[in-house]
Amino acid sequence: MWNKIEQLLGPHHPERLKVARLCIENGLAIRDDRIYLNQIEIPTARIARAAGVDRRTVVETVRMIQRDEGLQGIFEHLQSAGLSLRGVAKQLGLGVVEISAQDPKNVGILASASKLLADAGISIRQAQVDDPELSPEPKLTLIGDKGVPGNLIPEMLRIKGVARVSVY
């Protein structure tokens, strides 16, 4: 899906691609020439500021997406995934592991990483997985009930298909 978005918006209009990426990464829906966070309408000027583009670029991106039936169907039904503990993990004493895959379609990365945390006595409070069809740089984020020991990093890097591991 991301390839289709790049083809429609990206080759000649990289700034429109920024708007589309912002919408996808934040679960912002496009309906009736407007942008929504679930049911809350977000002004185009705010989207433009966040994407680092002109307001007219946001308006034209919305129009282009709505003219394409396939993209319209996707963007129309996007929703925010809800509360993420990643930003407040440190304050809550939680541990965060972020994993990037060589090929995000590899089977078993989530299961293997979860098992390593479980074997270390860490209960997973949240698991967030970016969709490889919609996110240009998908990641698996696991948030545990306590800090992740450094000795787990090399073990996670040995999981088939894992490219990078960040712990914080």
Mean pLDDT of 110-134: 93
> What confidence category does residue 81 fall into, taking pLDDT thresholds of 50, 70 and 90?
confident
Supply the mean pLDDT for the chain: 92
Q: Return the pLDDT at 2.
A: 77
3-state SS of the chain?
A: CHHHHHHHHCCCCHHHHHHHHHHHHHCEEEECCEEEECCEEECHHHHHHHHCCCHHHHHHHHHHHHHCHHHHHHHHCCCCCCCCCHHHHHHHCCEEEEEEECCCCCCCHHHHHHHHHHHCCCCEEEEEECCCCCCCCCEEEEEECCCCCCCHHHHHHCCCCEEEEEEC
- Report d(CA 113, CA 132) in Å as an integer: 18
Residue 1 has pLDDT above 90, yes or no: no
> What confidence category does residue 35 fall into, taking pLDDT thresholds of 50, 70 and 90?
very high
Tell me the two tokens of residue 68. 């394409």
Q: Write down the CATH number for the domain with range 86-167.
A: 3.30.70.260
Mean pLDDT of 117-121: 97
Mean pLDDT of 30-50: 97
- Name the pTM for this structure: 0.75
Q: Return the pLDDT at 106.
A: 84
Segment among 56-65, 75-84, 120-129, 148-157 with least mean pLDDT? 75-84
Residue 130 has pLDDT above 90, yes or no: no
Domain residue limits, the chain: 2-76, 86-167
